[in-house]
Structure 1
Amino acid sequence: MKPILSKIFLCGMLLLAMSCSSDDAPEIMEVELTCFDGILNGDEVTVDCGGACPGFCPTESEGILEGELVSRIQLEASVEYRLTGPYLVRDKAELSIPAGTVIKADPGKGAYIAVAQGGRLNVFGQPDNPVIITSGAQNPVPGDWGGIVISGRAPINGENLGRSDIIDIFYGGSTATDTSGVLNYLRVEYAGAEVNDRKFDAIAFYGVGSLTTVTRVQAFESLGNGIRFIGGTVNTKWVVATNNGENAIAMTNDWSGKGEFWHLSGSKNAGIQIRSDIENPPQTAIDSIRNISIIGPSLEIGLDYTSGNGRYTFTNVYTNGLSTGIRVDNAVVSSNIELGNLQLDSVEFDNPQIDFIPTNYTGDNTSFYTEATTDGAGNRAQLPNWTNGWTRGID
């Protein structure tokens, strides 16, 4: 039996060898494991695509951002990126963007960048080399794309967990010192696309915590608000909002962070709007906002107090070219002023429009604001030095 089995085995090996040498045999292509690691490396054109990696890729000068990020990646400043649709940074994922990077969003494609709870967005711009996220249109206009939506685990009023009113993402929690990353020297342009009768903000902070760093950011010509805070404890410093379609800054649902050095100009509605979508929200710690310039004339109202039950203190506020300094929208808000929940220390109404009124509030707490000569964000109506090199469109 053994000789017979040996012959059968030898015949089988011979047939196999002949088969493998056939010209019709399929070619086996090796694909490196790095093609699936979520990192731009090797000869890839963009993350996990190009070179030895399979699939369609853009040209070498262009990277595509769309879908979901579940790992940590760092973009390359030498690549001009396209944001072709929604791009979500998931829990434990991290998107880092170095100085000089430009990301252009495809208009009308529902493009936006969102950071889920536990995810991080790190923007490392420099004074003369900011990170720019803008429209990819040849002739860009406000509303060409969505904006940046960041969701954290910091407290929000009314409930422990909320759901964003613009995209399906949760926010809020009990971690006041939560972090969602770093934004430093960032300019966001032509955002504010409208979805279901609501507009994106250029940058929206939903329940974002105090260990998130937000310094030197500009919202330029958004169709919606420039920057909006929805609850949370995040602090900001050196903020510019220019020519936005609604409010320059919107403070919603008792944001309890701090703000310093804000230069707000040219927005359609108010420099700062205070409101709450929560019925009878609880009082929180005092919000402290100082060193603010609010510049008209297209921006007609300095501070628009529409609703809410938070406590707010503004210090060193300079305004120029307004028709109304402080607008109080209803009796509930008036009662909050009676309780001392809104205080403006040292505010200047410079160069007002004809028929200017400092405030339409008619209650008894006439000392809720005091007038003085101020320098606002650093240089009254003129550009403060800290805006040099990384901002645009400021007259």
Structure 2
Amino acid sequence: MLAVLGACSGDDSTTINIEAPSNNGGGNSGGGDSGGGDSGGDSGGETPAECPEGTTEVSEGLCELPATVDSDLTLTAGVSYLMTDRVTVGNGNGQLETNGDGTLDDGSAVQAVTLTIEAGVEVRGKTGTFANLLITRGSKIMAMGTADAPIVFSSDDDGYDGSGEWGGLIIHGYAPHNECAVGGSYCDIDSEGESGFAGGYDPDDSSGVLRYVVVAEGGYEFSTGNEINGISLVGVGSGTEMDYIQVHGNSDDGIEFYGGNVNLKHGVFTNNNDDSVDWDEGYQGNLQYIIVKQGASKGEAFEMDTEGSSEGFLSKPTLANVTVVAEKVADRADYSLNFKKRSGGFFHNTIVTVSPDSETVLTTCVNVDGSGSEGLVGSALVLNNWIQDCASGAGDRGTLANVSGLDNGTINAVAAQLDNNFASQASAAVLSSPIDWDAVNSAFSESVADASYLDATSYIGAVNPDGSDVWWAGWTVEGSVGNPTVPEATCPAGTETLDSGLCLLPATVDADLTLNGGVDYLMEGRVTVGNGNDQLETNGDGTLPDGSAVSNVTLTIEAGVNVYGKTGTFANLLITRGSKIMAKGTKSAPIVFSSDDEGLDGSGEWGGLIIHGFAPHNECAEGGSYCDIDSEGESGFAGGYDPDDSSGVLNYVVVAEGGYEFSTGNEINGISLVGVGSGTEMDYIQVHGNSDDGIEFYGGN
């Protein structure tokens, strides 16, 4: 929680507090029609609480807010609240530069008013009006909802399925803005929605707390072509706490940052009609765990610029763990994110995918405008650890960007595979190690990531693939997140679609192959990846007997995939030396090898998993260059002299029911590792019900 700060000048100090509700009335908020019902007004048949002093009762259980809040006010639970026009908290939206002494132009002091809103309260804007809540600089909002009782701002009609029915939430602060004069003492930025002046020189300024807050149905058109954002943040500082925030169904942008450096965790932006997230005018905060699920939008998932001063400091926030499901109405631009007008930005651990309902055919993740942003690529405009699934067509992962230089080797063009938790079950979503924010700041000269604020996650996307923290569930508008409808998964190129719906693996895999999720796979015999199981000692130069080179083939298996060996056969998977298996399951979606009958209660029903490597084996001659160890299960040759050799990754892998007797008295192990080196990662492995050994290590380390 943020500390409450006093006024910047003068003695007039006012605070509005929004507190948690008592247990005797507050209703079932839960995001309103998101399974929460009515909050505040419905008190289970009991008499509603009284309207707090400073508000006016307009009907039983409904209290109207005043146009101006100039002393501390708490919106208690047990009743709901109505705004019929703008409600202005404090007076800090007046001009400060006129007198140059921190007073307003009329000589009065800036007030420090706190508006407190208790958990479970609903604040309603009168439908069809510009009703909005404005927190001016120097004052605060303390809106601390809970997962069970979020605070909900919406129009005053039933449900949360409207758009443009009322205004929105506007917060001003004293934080920097790139139109403020360099070295000044006071700054007046003319702000969004005709809301007066904001901005200053205090990056640590606090405008209060927003926690478990839903803003729905806003964006009223207050003049022709001008709507208000769901949440507008003008010069808001990092002392402000924002956590668990949803903006839903806004007719303009979901949230927009005008300068400042406020941070936000756990943001959900759904069904907004223009851009979901927008920043400009020098915004440099940190955003983590962000879900953007567009509806029939005319804008982008993210629109980014440094509009304001052409010479002022850049917008270059840091984002991590972002999931975007893009969707647009017809005849819009074919990209999902747009950098324009000299904007930077750092997107780490990000998924961009496309809704099948998009009327515009999307082809590209990121558009980089030539008017200043292109020159920032690699320094202030960076994409790191991405799942690129940006095209509307089934099986098409799209183009990363319209400019070169953004693919730094951490971009994975694979299916997003969002599950019901809105987490990716693509194997690429699980990283080998957590992100190191200090290293990020060292690697990219313009990065200003706050290592003390950002979590060091080891996965891509807004939600952990292991299902341990479905943080958006229960408090957001019902049905607004969920699992998007995606095209049915198909067998990847290089496999054969069987009548059963399974994908048949070829006998030889001689080019990189990804076994994507959503379908399962069948082996009818041995499946050999690469050719490194042939002899290397014959020629003595590292080539195979026919003079060909050892191939480097990678078999990638995405989380949740089942690979079946045909029951009653020697079906097995062989990874030869020089090639790799990248089988990265997760706790909630392990990769399972078994026979193709039901259940996992058999034994000896198929072969198993054999992995070769170039690591030492004690039958290899000392001081040699090449070594050929005749290997388990008639699988050819393995071994070498590289203790650090890598044969890939096995994480959360189950091998069950194997050990088929391929000749009298000879069965195959569940997992056989022949000359496998320490560069290979094995973690969370089970071998179950094998008719021979569970796992056997033949040399290696």
Give the TM-score category using the shorter length. Answer: 0.7 to 0.9
Q: Aligned AA for 1:262?
A: I
Pair 1:146 & 2:167 matched = yes
Q: Aligned AA for 2:247?
A: A
Q: Aligned AA for 2:216?
A: E
Partner of 2:53: 47
Q: Aligned AA for 2:289?
A: F
Out of 387, 391, 405, the position equivalent to 1:348 is 387
Partner of 2:83: 83
Q: Aligned AA for 2:470?
A: N
Pair 1:176 & 2:215 matched = no
Could you say if the C-alpha distance between residues 255 and 39 of structure 1 is closer, same or farther in structure 2, counting changes exceeding 3 Å? closer
3-state SS, counterpart of residue 385 of structure 1: coil
* Count of paired positions: 347
Pair 1:271 & 2:277 matched = no
Relative to its length, the structure with more helix (as a share) is: 1
Partner of 2:363: 323
Cα distance in structure 1, aligned partners of 2:230 and 2:265: 17
Q: Quote how far apart the aligned CAs of 1:222 are.
A: 0.3
TM-score by length of 1: 0.81
Could you say if the C-alpha distance between residues 368 and 272 of structure 1 is closer, same or farther in structure 2, counting changes exceeding 3 Å? farther
Could you say if the C-alpha distance between residues 168 and 369 of structure 1 is closer, same or farther in structure 2, counting changes exceeding 3 Å? farther
Pair 1:96 & 2:129 matched = no
Runs of 4+, deviation exceeding 6 Å: 37-40
Partner of 1:217: 245
Tell me whether 349-358 or 159-168 shows the greater mean CA deviation.
349-358
Cα distance in structure 2, aligned partners of 1:39 and 1:347: 40
Contact 1:383/1:394, CA 8 A, preserved across alignment: no
Question: What is the root-mean-square deviation in Å for CA atoms of aligned residues?
Answer: 2.7
Cα distance in structure 2, aligned partners of 1:250 and 1:347: 20
User: For 1:340-382, what per-residue CA distance to the aligned partner results, in whole angstroms no more than 9, with x for missing partners?
Assistant: 220000111237313764245335x3546741323310157x9
User: For 1:254-288, what per-residue CA distance to the aligned partner results, in whole angstroms no more than 9, with x for missing partners?
Assistant: 21111110011015222211113224243458521
Partner of 1:248: 276
User: For 1:146-196, what per-residue CA distance to the aligned partner results, in whole angstroms no more than 9, with x for missing partners?
Assistant: 100000000011224311131232111001110000000000000111223
User: For 1:184-238, what per-residue CA distance to the aligned partner results, in whole angstroms no more than 9, with x for missing partners?
Assistant: 0000000111223222110111000111000000001000111111100100000
Contact 2:130/2:221, CA 8 A, preserved across alignment: no
Contact 1:328/1:359, CA 8 A, preserved across alignment: no
Cα distance in structure 2, aligned partners of 1:128 and 1:341: 39
Contact 1:70/1:89, CA 8 A, preserved across alignment: yes
Cα distance in structure 1, aligned partners of 2:244 and 2:401: 33
Cα distance in structure 1, aligned partners of 2:400 and 2:314: 25
Partner of 1:7: none
Partner of 2:154: 134
User: For 1:105-124, what per-residue CA distance to the aligned partner results, in whole angstroms no more than 9, with x for missing partners?
Assistant: 11122200001111111111
User: Counterparts in 2 of 1:1-395, with a 5 A limit?
Assistant: 45-48=51-54, 57-90=57-90, 91-138=111-158, 141-159=162-180, 160-196=187-223, 197-267=225-295, 268=297, 269-284=299-314, 286-298=316-328, 301-309=335-343, 311-321=344-354, 323-337=363-377, 340-350=379-389, 352-354=391-393, 357-363=398-404, 365-367=405-407, 370-372=410-412, 373-374=428-429, 375-379=460-464, 385-392=470-477, 393-395=480-482
Cα distance in structure 2, aligned partners of 1:142 and 1:325: 27
Tell me whether 138-147 or 244-253 shows the greater mean CA deviation.
138-147
Could you say if the C-alpha distance between residues 345 and 264 of structure 1 is closer, same or farther in structure 2, counting changes exceeding 3 Å? same
3-state SS, counterpart of residue 386 of structure 1: coil
3-state SS, counterpart of residue 335 of structure 1: helix
Q: Aligned AA for 2:321?
A: N
Cα distance in structure 2, aligned partners of 1:125 and 1:251: 26
3-state SS, counterpart of residue 109 of structure 1: coil
Contact 1:144/1:191, CA 8 A, preserved across alignment: yes
Cα distance in structure 2, aligned partners of 1:293 and 1:93: 37
Contact 2:16/2:142, CA 8 A, preserved across alignment: no
Q: Percent identity?
A: 24
> Is the radius of gyration larger for structure 1 or structure 2?
2
Q: Which has the higher relative contact order, 1 or 2, with Cα contacts under 8 A spaced 6 or more apart? A: 1
Cα distance in structure 1, aligned partners of 2:17 and 2:389: 53
Contact 2:86/2:132, CA 8 A, preserved across alignment: yes
3-state SS, counterpart of residue 166 of structure 1: helix
Cα distance in structure 1, aligned partners of 2:261 and 2:278: 14
Contact 2:165/2:217, CA 8 A, preserved across alignment: yes
3-state SS, counterpart of residue 58 of structure 1: strand
Partner of 1:21: none
**Structure 1, unaligned stretches of length 5 or more?**
1-36, 51-56
Could you say if the C-alpha distance between residues 383 and 143 of structure 1 is closer, same or farther in structure 2, counting changes exceeding 3 Å? farther
Could you say if the C-alpha distance between residues 330 and 195 of structure 1 is closer, same or farther in structure 2, counting changes exceeding 3 Å? farther
Could you say if the C-alpha distance between residues 104 and 330 of structure 1 is closer, same or farther in structure 2, counting changes exceeding 3 Å? same
Cα distance in structure 1, aligned partners of 2:155 and 2:285: 30
Could you say if the C-alpha distance between residues 315 and 79 of structure 1 is closer, same or farther in structure 2, counting changes exceeding 3 Å? same
TM-score by length of 2: 0.47
Relative to its length, the structure with more strand (as a share) is: 1
Contact 1:104/1:134, CA 8 A, preserved across alignment: yes
Cα distance in structure 1, aligned partners of 2:142 and 2:55: 23
Tell me whether 346-355 or 71-80 shows the greater mean CA deviation.
346-355
Cα distance in structure 1, aligned partners of 2:303 and 2:191: 19
3-state SS, counterpart of residue 345 of structure 1: strand
Could you say if the C-alpha distance between residues 63 and 369 of structure 1 is closer, same or farther in structure 2, counting changes exceeding 3 Å? farther
Could you say if the C-alpha distance between residues 348 and 170 of structure 1 is closer, same or farther in structure 2, counting changes exceeding 3 Å? same
Contact 1:62/1:82, CA 8 A, preserved across alignment: yes
Could you say if the C-alpha distance between residues 328 and 48 of structure 1 is closer, same or farther in structure 2, counting changes exceeding 3 Å? closer
Q: Aligned AA for 1:229?
A: F
3-state SS, counterpart of residue 390 of structure 1: coil
Cα distance in structure 2, aligned partners of 1:341 and 1:367: 14
Contact 1:45/1:58, CA 8 A, preserved across alignment: no
Contact 2:129/2:220, CA 8 A, preserved across alignment: no
Q: Aligned AA for 2:148?
A: D
Q: Aligned AA for 2:266?
A: W
**Structure 2, unaligned stretches of length 5 or more?**
1-14, 19-48, 91-110, 181-186, 355-361, 413-427, 430-459, 483-701
Could you say if the C-alpha distance between residues 120 and 73 of structure 1 is closer, same or farther in structure 2, counting changes exceeding 3 Å? same
